[in-house]
Amino acid sequence: MTAVKDVIVIGAGPVGIAAAAHLIQRGLTPLILEKGNSVGSSILDWGHVSVFTPWKYVYDSVVKTMLEKQGWVTANNDELPTGKDIVEKYLQPAANLPELKQSIWLNSEVLAVTKENLSKMGSQQRDNALFEVQVKTPSGIQQLKASAVIDASGSWSSPNPMGLNGLPVFGEVENQQSISYGIPDLLGKDKATYANKRILVVGGGHSAINVVIDLMKLQQQHSKTTINWGLRRNNIDKLLGGGINDELPARGELGTAAIKAIQSGHLDVLAPMKVEAIEKTSTSLKVFLSVDGVAQEIEVDRIIVAAGFRPELNMLRELRLDLDNIVEAPSALAPLIDPNLHSCGSVKPHGVDVLSHPDKGFYIVGMKSYGRAPTFLMLTGYEQVRSIAAELAGDHKGARELQLSLPQTGVCNTGNRVGKSLDKSSVEQRTTRTSCCGTSKTSQAQSCCG
């Protein structure tokens, strides 16, 4: 007979590990299911990239306390770790803690979550029914049971395709061997793939800027490398980020670096750009696109799509969820993070009430809780799971006493903003930052998300 777990946690990233630690602190027994062969396996995919947040914002307080009791020493609080640093210096030591080690199953991919003997249609005694989690393990498919489930699986494995309509463009699927998603290691293991090649980068967020900056460094070493940067929307505010107004300086500096890249003339900026189709030729990819409504064709060797991510929801289709139909985040959270309304680097701390669904005891947390919205902070996820652990342990009051103060950020705007041109002259003329709290010429601008 299958043993019933108190809580199954899906994903062994920072938020999943934190969830397990908070549950253990509350006297509950978690089981973490991680589809990769290491904790933080998705993070290792972008392990070469430095995060915006210094170490002091990476640690969960309960995990940190557990580690310190074993003699673990923190890194410099103000240093910016890479993804690899986070896994090797924080997550792997945490996974080896006596309290957590036996609670983690690696190479265990969750295929589906449902209610015992009930599909989404079944209502009889639904609140009292256990959760059933179907998981693919090295020894075969198993069916596990739990009183509650916390989905911290993230969204890294579900990148957005190239099309403005949310679908792959014609030829995108057929030419996957020449297309990468996310942030390739352009100066490391992937260098030979991109050196002296013609590259098209699609995307206008922080990931795309990282890619473009690394490509420019590669270009300095390999002069035949050419860069086309296609921004699907013509919005200078998003590119600038928080600039000098951002309490996470690395994020502000990234926006500034993007502007310098445009000014340098070492890359071609295509904005607003829409890719219509991709065609394989004998030596390259022919990309049919429009720039500001004018049809063009360019030939490239590789395409890098850095256009964000979406939550993988198919494994949850037999659960009753309350998700916003636009952002695909919990309905109560969606208005706080919908990029159509505003763009903020921090969102007011929130917990169990905001994250609850009709199927009691099921929660989506971490990056996946933001649905298709960008700019998630790990500290936000840690507060989410602290609140949920308190609720599951019966401390309903503690679950609602939010205990988090987030760094302010200038990455904030509201309303339907008219896009600014990305030509050189407009970039050079722009000397102020606009936030939802007004236009500021100082370094102390407020954020709407405080």
Q: Give residue 336's pLDDT.
A: 87
Give the pTM: 0.86
pLDDT at 425 exceeding the cut of 50:
no
Higher pLDDT, residue 405 or 438: 405
Q: Give residue 441's pLDDT.
A: 31
Q: Give residue 442's pLDDT.
A: 28
How far is residue 80 from each of residues 83, 279, 349, measured CA to CA in Å? 10, 41, 23
pLDDT tens sequence across 48-72: 998 878 999 999 999 999 999 999 9
Instruction: Over range 203-215, report the average pLDDT.
Output: 87
Most confident of 72-86, 130-144, 375-389: 130-144
The structural architecture, per CATH, of the domain 4-157+309-399 is: 3-Layer(bba) Sandwich (3.50)
Q: 176-307+417-440, what's its fold?
A: FAD/NAD(P)-binding domain (3.50.50)
Q: Give residue 206's pLDDT.
A: 79
Higher pLDDT, residue 241 or 125: 125
Tokens of 162: 């190239």
Q: If you search the block for the tokens 């003329």, which residue do you land on?
A: 429
Three-state DSSP string of 72-133: CCCCCCCCCCEHHHHHHHHHHHHHCCHHHHCCEECCCEEEEEEECCECCCCCCCHHHCCEEE
pLDDT tens sequence across 4-40: 789 999 999 999 999 999 999 999 999 999 999 999 9
User: Would the CATH topology of 4-157+309-399 be identical to that of 176-307+417-440?
Assistant: yes
pLDDT at 327 exceeding the cut of 90:
yes
Asked if residue 159 lies in contact with residue 179, where contact means CB atoms within 8 angstroms, the answer is no
Residues 6+ apart with CB under 8 A from 408: 247, 346, 446, 447, 449, 450
Q: Give residue 194's pLDDT.
A: 98
Higher pLDDT, residue 411 or 247: 247
Q: Give residue 243's pLDDT.
A: 45
pLDDT category, 239, cuts 50, 70, 90?
low
Q: Give residue 89's pLDDT.
A: 97
Q: Give residue 356's pLDDT.
A: 97
pLDDT tens sequence across 104-163: 999 999 999 999 999 999 999 999 999 999 999 999 999 999 999 999 999 999 999 999
What residue segments make up the domains of the chain, in order of their start? Answer: 4-157+309-399, 176-307+417-440
**What value does the mean pLDDT of the chain take?**
86
Q: Give residue 61's pLDDT.
A: 95
∠ at Cα 19 (18, 24), nearest 5°? 95
Q: Give residue 424's pLDDT.
A: 42
Of 123-127, 209-213, 217-221, give the lowest mean pLDDT range. Answer: 209-213
Of 62-71, 390-399, 424-433, give the lowest mean pLDDT range. Answer: 424-433
